[in-house]
Amino acid sequence: MGRPSARERIINAATEVFCRRGYGEATTREISERAQIAEITLFRNFDTKKKLYFEVVGQIRGQLSEIAKNLNNQAPDDGTMLKNLLVDRLAMADKNSRLLGLLVNDMQYHDEVREEFAGIYRELLEPLTGYLNHNFLKSSRDEARFAARYFIWLIMGSVVNKNLLGSADGHDTGDQYPADQSGRIIEMFLNGIRNGGLG
């Protein structure tokens, strides 16, 4: 296996620097030094620091696009896909916890970062609404949209609990979010839908 390309080295270095310093404090000079390239090489690959930043956080968006494709499959489902989605997203959060922390931190201070996060949210919201409407809430698209929002908040809360709070609540979830715990979360969510408890 050969040495990574200049572009790969820039992205890896930028991930490190952005996660440590945030968007506002990171410099292209530090990124290029960490990547062991000339700063001009960085600008040949990415016109601006902003474009490089969105390439870095775009890794999360790309992974979420795969979920949206799966949710757009209108085959009947009993909730198994939701359980798999939760387990998969929590695994993604483990792998990308520093990038998620970067996004959460930077969106407080930078409108363009907030808009990127909002775009990620919208990309997941519509297919999830369709999935819930097709499988569980056939009579009401509005209820399905509300339930989709609630499910996204549920995932975000699980990510915060696992990656930011850790075992602060007295229940250590270990390195992996247990599948049985994800199953319990999904059952509680689906029971809420079935019994009209979300609206």
- Encode pLDDT of 9-48 as tens digits: 999 999 999 989 989 999 999 999 999 999 999 999 999 9
End-to-end CA distance of the chain: 54
Closest C-alpha to 95, from 19, 151, 189, 163: 163
CA 75 – CA 85 distance, rounded (Å): 15
With 0-12 / 13-18 / 19 or more C-beta atoms within 10 angstroms meaning exposed / middle / buried, residue 111 is exposed
What single-letter amino acid sits at 149?
R
Q: Which CATH superfamily is domain 1-47 in?
A: Homeodomain-like (1.10.10.60)
Tens digits of residue pLDDT in 155-197: 777 666 665 565 555 555 444 455 567 777 788 888 888 776 5
State pLDDT tens for residues 102-121.
887 888 888 988 888 888 88
Domain boundaries, the chain: 1-47, 57-194
Q: How far apart are CA 20 and CA 91, in angstroms?
A: 22
Question: What fold is seen in the domain 57-194?
Answer: Tetracycline Repressor; domain 2 (1.10.357)
